Amino acid sequence: MHIKARWSSPGELLIYGSYLARARAGDEAMARLREAVSGLDVGVLVNNAGVAKPCAVYLHEADVEAWVRMLRVNLWALTEVTAAVLPGMVERGRGAVVNIGSGSTEAIPSFPLYSVYAASKRYVAQFSRSLYVEYRSKGIDVQCQAPLFVETKMTTGVAGSRKRRGILSSLMMPTSEAYARAAARWIGHGPLCMPNLGHRLQWCLCNAVPDRLLDVHRLRENLRQRALFQRLRSARVNGGLPARKQS
Ligand SMILES: NC(=O)c1ccc[n+]([C@@H]2O[C@H](COP(=O)([O-])OP(=O)(O)OC[C@H]3O[C@@H](n4cnc5c(N)ncnc54)[C@H](OP(=O)(O)O)[C@@H]3O)[C@@H](O)[C@H]2O)c1
């Protein structure tokens, strides 16, 4: 309700970037995208689509095509969708763009074994910050939201089973519903935010720890994840588990 009242009139549409990011081929995709949004009044754009695969690997362990697939969604689609909706927002003198970045580029100094993912999210933060300055006087709020871990498909293997999770871990790693509620409240409040309280507490804690220690800790954690994913992959190859869909 708050979002609609502030950025959209009742006839306007709120859209999510993920649906538009599905188109694959560059120019053709952009032409289809422009056509799709030309008749729409987009009040709030949420660029949520994101890919973290290949997960927990050294850079040389994945094919270049896999990195390109990741960048196409995390960086290219987000840029194109934003560029396509801005003219309408400028014309109406209002609107909001929310780009989902990552706390991995804000709260900690490195995110080893996810180097391309983290670099793509750094782009999101910097892109959003500059657009915030460019479009603020035109009535458009551009914001990067930078969550730490949220319980979603992306973090399967990082999160424990929900049944086993206590209050503290729920605060530190909220469900997607809890995160979305906090996220909606933060729209319009500055160029960068970390909507979840538990995430902000972790950010504060990280600020008190020397970068070198955070680097060591993160590498150890992500190596642990790498070992887990390798075990899951080999179990799958050996027929122990059903194959999972690639994002
Ligand atoms: N979960 C976390 O801990 C966490 C932390 C920091 C940042 N983030 C960011 O939060 C955002 C949402 O991630 P999530 O955790 O909800 O992950 P998720 O469960 O894996 O969902 C990813 C979303 O991206 C969409 N998507 C992926 N590839 C796409 C493609 N080629 N074309 C169109 N849509 C595509 C998916 O659509 P379908 O479902 O239709 O495939 C889905 O809506 C991402 O930008 C992620 O980087 C997540």
Q: Determine which of 29-43, 157-171, 216-230 has the lowest per-residue pLDDT on average.
A: 157-171
Burial of 90 by CB count in 10 Å (0-12 exposed, 13-18 middle, 19+ buried)?
middle
pLDDT in tens, 45-63: 999 999 999 999 999 999 9
How is the chain split into domains, by residue range? 2-237
Confidence of residue 242 (pLDDT cuts 50, 70, 90): low
19 tagged catalytic: no
Strands 42-47 and 192-193: unpaired
Say which residues have a Cβ less than 8 Å from residue 28's Cβ, sequence separation at least 6: none
Tokens representing residue 220 in the block: 């150890």
Catalytic residue among 16, 19, 58, 117: 117
> How confident is residue 16, by pLDDT bands cut at 50, 70 and 90?
very low
Question: Which residues have C-beta atoms less than 6 Å from ligand 1?
Answer: 18, 21-22, 48-52, 73, 100, 102, 147, 149-150, 152-155, 247
Ranges 54-58, 162-166, 184-188: which has the least confidence: 162-166
Tell me what pLDDT residue 121 has: 98
Secondary-structure class of domain 2-237 per CATH? alpha beta
- What Å distances lie between residue 43 and 30, 32, 34, 90, 106, CA to CA? 20, 20, 16, 11, 27
Residue 19 has pLDDT above 60, yes or no: no
Atom of ligand 1 minimally distant from the CA of 147: 6
